[in-house]
Structure 1
Amino acid sequence: MTRTLLLSTALSALALPALAETLTIYTSQPQDQMTEVIAAFNEARPEIEVELFRSGTTEVMAKLQAEFAAGGSPADVLLIADAVAMTQLKAEDRLMAYPEAPVDGIDAALLDADSMFFPTKLITTGIVYNTDLVETPPTSWADLAEAEAAAQTIMPSPLYSGAAAIHVGTMVQQEQFGWEYFETLAENGAVAGQGNGTVLEAVARGEKAYGVLVEYMAMNAKAQGSPVDFVFPSEGVTAVTQPVAMLAGTDAADAARAFVDWQLSQAAQEQSVAQGYFPLGAGLSAPEGYPDLASLTLIEADNARLLADGEAVKQEFADLYGG
């Protein structure tokens, strides 16, 4: 009887489907978009079960660092709007190289030389405004600093948003802006919220007339009927590439590589365009209503300085706007 029971159990085990592999992703991409991303990824790879932690880049990084300090993180993949944070993790040996990643069609200047992280899309920061409150839209960053506009301006804080950290860090490196620009904004009444979502909500509700914001949030809200529009300032826009990376020590390396492959695929790039992002792959146009990327001026930053000065920039910003 015992032998029969063991044989029956063994045969039953053989008949069971293979267990799904679990992939844990930490991300700063909005929850509704990540739901779409995971659904599309699972169409291609249904056997991979995805678990998600989503928050602002700064909070994602804080969670990771706390987990590292406690002995290790459950995260397998990181997808955040902050190449500087990725560079920091790379320097700390927290990322896994993937030299075979399918990067054809992506500008080589955007790629990490050691294949530790990979750009997935381009996100620019400019000015959102409420169309019910603003008769003459601003055209430049300088317009936003004028007393009347600044008093009605809200911006995201680099203490919460990776894109905001890069925006502020990039702007203070520019001779035409520097910290004097942010000091003028503060003196004229501008305030800081938390992440980009708080900025969009304040402007869409009419609590503020202007905001500093990533373009896709404003453009998506406009398409959905919100009384907002977006300006790509004449001096240029700051930009992030929302890189994806695998964490060193992952116990789901195959699934992690599959997700990176998918993020760099044509299907994912097409989904990014549908979600309101500038694509990085060759042969794809910007979303409807967006300017041609080639027509924009991208304000360049010294990434080494962004990394070295990151904490000092956050502290200076907090001193000006609170934190």
Structure 2
Amino acid sequence: MNKLLKMTIGLPALLAVSLAFGVANAETLSLYTSQPDADAAKTVEAFRKVNPDIEVQVYRSGTSDILGKLAAEFSAGATQADVLLIADAVSMEGLKKQGKLQSYEKANVEGFDKDSYDAQKTYFGSKLITTGIAYNSAATSKPEHWADLAKPEYKGMIVMPSPLYSGAAAYLLSGFVGNSELGWGYFDKLKANETVAVRGNGAVLKSVASGEKPYGILVDFMALNAKAKGSPVEFVFPSEGVPAVTEPVAIMAGSKNLPAAQKFVDFILSDDGQKLALEQGYLPAKPSIGRPSWLPEGVQVKVMPIETLKVLEATDADKAKFSEMFGG
């Protein structure tokens, strides 16, 4: 569900009222994010611990929904967002191409891979999120490759996130379509196998964990964090490669609260911000921070090579065709 809420985390209502006069000149930051609800709340809480004078107003939804909201705001000439924290670099490249992102030259990217942030410093990757195959622990077949999901024994038992809502799913869609080993033929096979597209990754996890649909295409951290908490979910990184997004952060051009937006980017890229990502079960974008427990040292995940600019060019047409095939 789309959510617009004022977060004053850590301040009881009475205390907030009693301090109202003392923070009358406090900055207010408008954040649009595709992070799961709990993660978004923790991110804001951690940010406000080091920036207590900045109020944070949050709009949370899927990346595709956020892009639609922004497009409507652009048309109306009234952009509300100061800063974005959304799924993928492709979406950021699209906004950059439209001149909607503000460069932040002074952002501290020391220790980050150059591939994780934009050369013009308009957006910065915060973590690495891959998409693989999740399945219920009680499932009879154990998939190892993307092609396995097209086999007859999986018919009617697969669920995946819709690229019309999820940025990671949109990236996977165009990446797979542009892959000579997969292409639209792969989605034809998924369709023939009665694969169901649902609104987002959270719905996929719920379906797989309950056994309603024992197999799913899902982002790594959701499956593996759920497994660590006792959920009957297993996860596979197909050896032929997995698509990966970086959940970048960016400042909107024309932000009315630029200093606060810069502080938010600073926090996300700081060691504290990267440690928060690790605590939330993600693989931080800054390698020196470490790995989540589900990815021990020495375990290598093959990331599928996907050209961001080609995906950007194809994504609208790919989403339209996907919608015709799977609905949405």
- Interval of TM-score (by shorter of Structure 1 and Structure 2): over 0.9
**Whole-Å Cα distance in 2 between the matches of residues 247 and 68 of structure 1?**
11
| Deviation (angstroms), 1:150 | 4.0
- Following TM superposition, by how much is the alpha carbon of 1:293 offset from its aligned partner in structure 2, in angstroms? 7.9
Residue 219 of structure 1, aligned match among 209, 224, 235:
224
User: 1:100 is matched with which residue?
Assistant: 106
How far did 1:229 drift? 1.3
1:140 is aligned to 145
Secondary structure of the equivalent of 2:235?
strand
List aligned pairs for 1:260-299, cutoff 5 A: 260-292=265-297, 295-299=300-304
**Does the Cα contact within 8 Å between 1:286 and 1:293 map onto a contact in 2?**
no
Give the secondary structure class of the aligned counterpart of 2:244.
strand
String of CA shifts for 1:38-61, please: whole Å, max 9, x gaps: 111111111111110000001111
Q: In structure 2, what residue type is equivalent to 1:110?
A: S
- Residue in 2 that maps onto 1:69: 75
- Residue 278 of structure 1 contacts residue 293 of structure 1 at CA under 8 Å; is this kept in 2? no
1:29 matched to 2:65? The reply is no
- Which residue number corresponds to residue 250 of structure 1? 255
Greater displacement, 29-38 / 146-155: 146-155
Report SS of the residue matched to 1:237: coil
Hey, what does 1:53 align to over in structure 2? 59
In structure 2, the partner of 1:9 is none
Unaligned runs of 5+ in 1: 1-14
Instruction: Give the TM-score, by structure 2 length.
Output: 0.91
Give the share of equivalent positions with the same residue, in percent: 47
**Residue equivalent to 1:167:** 172
- Asked if residue 20 in structure 1 is aligned to residue 26 in structure 2, the reply is yes
2: CA distance between counterparts of 1:104 and 1:72?
Answer: 35
Where does residue 85 of structure 2 map in the other structure?
A: 79
Paired residue for 1:155? Answer: 160
What's the CA shift for 1:291? 4.8
CA distance in 1, matches of 2:55, 2:140: 49
Output the aligned Cα RMSD: 1.4
Q: Alpha carbons of 1:277 and 1:321: their partners in 2 closer, same or farther (altered >3 Å)?
A: same
User: Which of 109, 119, 143 is the aligned partner of 2:125?
Assistant: 119
Amino acid at match of 2:56: V
CA separation of 1:230 and 1:29: change in aligned 2, threshold 3 A: same
Aligned to 1:10: none
Name the counterpart of 1:237.
242
* Alpha-carbon offset, residue 77 of structure 1: 0.3
Q: CA separation in 2, counterparts of 1:223 and 1:188?
A: 30
Q: CA deviation at 1:189?
A: 1.6
Q: Please tell me the residue identity of whatever aligns with 1:254.
A: P
Matched residue type, 1:66? A
Aligned to 1:196: 201
Displacement, 1:222?
Answer: 1.1
Query: Structure 2 counterpart of 1:39, which letter?
Result: E
Bigger Rg over Cα: 1
Q: What's the offset of the Cα at 1:160?
A: 0.7
Whether the aligned pair in 1 keeps the contact of 2:23 and 2:53 (CA below 8 Å) is no
Q: SS of the residue aligned with 2:170?
A: helix
Kindly state the Cα deviation for residue 294 of structure 1 after the two structures are TM-superposed. Answer: 6.5
1:284, distance to aligned residue in structure 2 (A): 2.5
Question: 1:18, CA displacement in angstroms?
Answer: 5.5
